[in-house]
Amino acid sequence: MTNSSANQMWGGRFSTGVDAIMEAINASISFDQRLAAQDIEGSRAHAAMLAATGIITDNDAKAIREGLLTVLSEIEGGNFEFSAALEDIHMNVEARLKHLVGEPAGRLHTARSRNDQVALDFRMWVRDQCDAAESGLEALIKVLLDQAEAGADWVMPGFTHLQTAQPVTWGHHMMAYVEMFGRDLSRIRDARARMNECPLGAAALAGTSFPIDRDMTAEALRFDRPMANSLDAVADRDFALEFLSCASVSAMHLSRLAEELVIWSSAQFRFVRMSDAFSTGSSIMPQKKNPDAAELIRAKIGRIFGAQTALLMIMKGLPLTYSKDMQEDKEQTFDAADSWMLALAAMTGMMADLTANRDALAAAAGSGFSTATDLADWLVRVLGLPFRDAHHITGSLVAMAEDKGCDLPELSLEDMQSVHAGITGNIFDVLTVENSVASRISYGGTSPEQVRLQITRWKEILT
């Protein structure tokens, strides 16, 4: 079968046959141009090292380094013409550098391969995203701390199975997310520290015979040290996978909070009011105020999960060292990073503008027999009953209240004593939601005292 006939079958998208198809599948410049700043910084450090070790002349290094700044200025100014024929960001930059400075440009690639070059660029880009994520998480945590401090003693229902369980405070609920996002912050910092080793100098896979100084380039590019194995340096993308893992866990936390905002802002709950800045209306129903930002956060999380799975699938079957499959590592990571940063920013904005409905929270806090556990605890603490007996008595009182169509505090003392004669009037002191939350004084509990203690702790952590 001829190329032209084959092209009719599977190449209709490409007007010039198999050469165009190969160019399209091989080129990465459409997306890896995002690595331009890292590529140029890495090349400038490499040129400086080559001169310092006598591999190239100082004059050539100067021309290269100044030319690369011109290229960066053109790219950042939108005046750079990227070419798919040159495949990737590395060759596009090098071709433009040659046009600007001539022969010295050809010396830049001494003691270097595109394999260690792309490993360096991508690692530096992911490292920058770790820094951005750290800033985004810190901003979100601070907003949640503000919400917690404002409502440290505002009662609300705590849920299990989305059923009313026990009263808690708004501040305590907010601080739960502070702890979650705090662990996300710890994870991304830990991942950043682990990835902060420099692959430059590994060359294609085996290192180089030139007398390079890898410590010099590592220090210039703000790495802690050079990577210790040249095969590993060009072969693995676990730093990107770890970033995506951190992003996925954090995205899951964002999605859970987004889900609660969707529920809480509904007419059935009315726990919170979303600001107009993060809501939309309906094209047909004028009464609607939709929590679109929260819903979009909830949806975007799937792209982050998908990126992690995709990169795992790309890497899982590759023998050492580099394979072209690894070109597919970047688009997934770029998209996930964009989605995570946007979701963090949107959630921070929403929580900063969010107004909690204290009255609705309080009204819901006392519903659903939320102080039943306090009643059982009183029976154990005051009457000395075994907890299982206290649990049974409390269940009987809940059933009685259900039959009467009232809540536990609305039962009479006589009603309660009909179930257990030892109950006294003091029982009513523990059946208010305010007394319930105030009594939860164990470390990490929901009492306002404990909530304020944790707020203070986190403020000290973030300073």
Q: What are the Cα distances from residue 181, in Å, to 91, 148, 238, 430? A: 40, 14, 23, 33
Task: Outline where DSSP puts E strands in 112-172.
Answer: 155-160, 163-169
Q: How many CA atoms lie within 13 A of 233 on its CB side?
A: 29
For residues 344 and 293, the answer to whether their CB atoms sit within 8 Å is no
Distance of CA 63 to the CA centre of its chain: 41
161 is catalytic: yes
Q: What are the Cα distances from residue 6, in Å, to 18, 104, 312? A: 9, 44, 33
Name the residue among 177, 52, 205, 60 with its Cα closest to residue 119: 205
Amino acid of residue 89:
I
Rg (CA), the chain: 31
Q: What are the Cα distances from residue 374, in Å, to 35, 84, 265? A: 58, 69, 29
User: Which residue in 282, 323, 367, 412 is the catalytic one?
Assistant: 282
First to last CA, the chain: 70
For residues 264 and 174, the answer to whether their CB atoms sit within 8 Å is no
Q: Maximum Cα–Cα distance for the chain, whole Å?
A: 100
Name the residue among 115, 117, 113 with its Cα closest to residue 125: 117
Q: For 421-448, give the DSSP string.
A: TT--GGGGGGSSHHHHHHH--STT-SSH
User: Which residue in 161, 209, 283, 442 is the catalytic one?
Assistant: 161
**Token duo for residue 281:** 């209306």
Name the residue among 330, 291, 290 with its Cα closest to residue 311: 330
Distance of CA 382 to the CA centre of its chain: 47
Amino acid of residue 316:
K
Give the span between the Cα atoms of 370 and 155, in whole angstroms: 11
Residues acting as catalytic residues: 161, 282
